[in-house]
Structure 1
Amino acid sequence: MSDELLYHVDGELVPTNEATVSVDDRGFRYGDAAFETLRAYGGTIFGWEAHVERLERTCDALSLEHGLSTADLRERVRETLAANDLADAYVRLSITRGVQPGKLTPQSDVEPTVVVYVKPLPRGGVDGESVWDGPATVQSVETRRVPDAAIPAGAKTHNYLNGILARTELEDDADEALLRDIDGNVAEGATSNLFFVRDGVLHTPTADGDLLAGITRSVVLEVAGEAGVPVEEGEYELEDVLEAEEAFLTNRTWELRPVAELDRAEIGGGKVTERLSRRYDERVEEVCY
């Protein structure tokens, strides 16, 4: 891998300092774009099919008809990893509506802007290492999760203002913001999903609520079922999490990250968290290495 990474921008591999998009691009102007955060293990994109399906659901929610095939997108990702000689990496794939006149109403004819960028990550799987230095310090915030009735909660778009506002509330030592919905129920982190354990039962806010149900979250639910860990999805108050025996966050980069404390109350990981983390690593090892 060279010192300067190469990004894939509209079909061309270019050095980082040349990887640009137009100021008239709707992804820049309005956040009018879909994206996926992927992780490559041993050169294989873990959960590629699930990511592509969610990307298409996001594009459908935006009425963004980009006209790109799954094979085309996958080849761009493969080329970017190969050009940077990366097997284990963070990968972000973005599709914007492209350059259009400066009007809020989008045009039906789309020439999408497609960007793939990468950065190296440690090896994953059973012989891997965490990308985080330690368990997360989490803080609940006053910013509420945008309701699904306003912006589709399951759409993964470039508009991350909700999460940004939540993160601006954090104290200096906090790693993640925990958002609640407008009714006060716990929803998710700014970039993560939440799990907690009480009386041996794994709990997580329901995907029917105002949250983006992550693909890592889905894998955790699968491996929990395989491990015989009872699971409940529901609506929870902040106090329910504060009284938990264990808690952890999930996203594609962190995988499973234990919660050291929430609002200064100590929680930590535990046997269930460790068991599911091991199962997750085994799944990655089996699929990718």
Structure 2
Amino acid sequence: MAEEATGDLQYHVDGELVAADEATVSVHDRGFAYGDAVFETIRVYGGVPFRWDAHADRLRASAEALSLPVPLSDAALRGRIVETVAANDLREAAVKLSVTRGPDTRGLTPPTDPDPTVVVTVSPLAPGGSDGDRAWGEPARLQTAKTRRVPDRALPAGAKTHNYLNPILARLETRVSDADEALVLDGEGYVAEAAAANLWFVDERGLYTPSLEGPVLPGITRETVVEIAESEGIPVTEGRFEPDDVRDAEEAFLTSSIREIRPVETVDGVAVGGGPVTSLLTRLYDARVDAACYDGDDTDGDGQANGP
């Protein structure tokens, strides 16, 4: 979030609501010093954190991969999100929930008795769903980056950590072109994902997306698209693909919690674009948001539609 965008916002820092411009963590916090932290970015529609249960599960899986204790229950974490959104008089928002290992001055080796830091930051968004606006503005223009995805054995791909230098380096490469997002390959040259989104492409046989067996983050929106495609009888193939497979596709799109389903306009200057499958998935995704967050069906408070 840009500095000037904080305005009169309030953030939740270790159990207290504080003005965004005054929100701080210790310079000794391991999340700041080493990237020793995990986080989730969550879309809030109509005051409801969408797919909260899935985000909570992934947060805990990320923390487990780092042997990092999460000091609060899922219900308490969700409560801090809802409290932060309400304190800012928002109904539509992007939320970042971070859990760090906390302050420590004993060096690189993690402490055996950490005091985790929990931070919730928020930024306003326009309404989503069937009657809402798109957070992405324009279709994506991808550029294949020279920076490769960190191997899973070096840094667990399934863990969403504060160590984001790899996608940052990939994004920096796009500054020399008209691209606005990086397409990142694995160490063997196969497509992994975008810098901050999962990748999909389409041909006459169905949907394709890089397998989670590679260095690919298991995206919550990715999971939702798989569910939608299966319910519609659209084949989904998860595998290893080369950049030319994406450049030659009939359609391509990215998925992420904030930008949802974003069509890809070009890959390395080659026109790809959206199409009927991307449009169908977008409509069905919006319908799920409507049912879970705007139509009053989320009686469990988990950001997921109840019923069939």
TM interval, shorter chain, is over 0.9
Superposition RMSD in Å: 1.1
Inter-partner Cα distance in structure 2 for 1:13 and 1:39: 20
Q: State the AA in 2 paired with 1:282.
A: A
Does residue 35 of structure 1 match 2:39?
yes
Matching residue of 2:16: 12
Inter-partner Cα distance in structure 1 for 2:74 and 2:194: 29
1:52 offset after TM fit, Å?
Answer: 0.4
Q: Secondary structure at the match of 1:51?
A: helix
Matching residue of 1:250: 255
Q: State the AA in 2 paired with 1:187.
A: A
Q: State the AA in 2 paired with 1:88.
A: E
Inter-partner Cα distance in structure 1 for 2:97 and 2:273: 33
Q: Secondary structure at the match of 1:169?
A: helix
1:55 offset after TM fit, Å?
Answer: 0.3
Which of 173, 177, 180 is the equivalent residue of 2:185?
180
Inter-partner Cα distance in structure 1 for 2:100 and 2:43: 21
The answer to whether the 8 Å contact 2:38/2:62 transfers is yes
Matching residue of 1:125: 129
1:173 offset after TM fit, Å?
Answer: 2.5
The structure 1 segments of at least 4 consecutive aligned residues displaced by more than 2 Å after TM superposition are: none
Inter-partner Cα distance in structure 1 for 2:70 and 2:105: 17
Percent of paired sites with the same residue: 57
Q: State the AA in 1 paired with 2:55.
A: H
Does residue 218 of structure 1 match 2:223?
yes
Inter-partner Cα distance in structure 2 for 1:266 and 1:201: 19
The answer to whether the 8 Å contact 2:60/2:70 transfers is no
Matching residue of 2:210: 205
- Structure 2 runs not aligned, ≥5 long: 1-5, 295-308
1:198 offset after TM fit, Å?
Answer: 1.3
Deviations 1:85-134 (A, max 9, x none): 11110000000000012410001112111110101111111111101221
- Structure 1 runs not aligned, ≥5 long: none
Does residue 279 of structure 1 match 2:284?
yes
For residues 36-55 of structure 1, the aligned pairs below 5 Å read 36-55=40-59
Comparing 171-180 with 248-257, which one deviates more in the overlay? 171-180
Which of 208, 230, 236 is the equivalent residue of 2:235?
230
Q: Secondary structure at the match of 1:27?
A: helix
Q: State the AA in 1 paired with 2:126.
A: P
Inter-partner Cα distance in structure 1 for 2:200 and 2:93: 25
TM-score, length basis structure 1: 0.98
Inter-partner Cα distance in structure 2 for 1:112 and 1:172: 41
Label 1:288 to 1:210 Cα distance change in 2 as closer, same or farther (>3 A). Answer: same
Q: State the AA in 1 paired with 2:200.
A: F
The answer to whether the 8 Å contact 2:189/2:242 transfers is yes
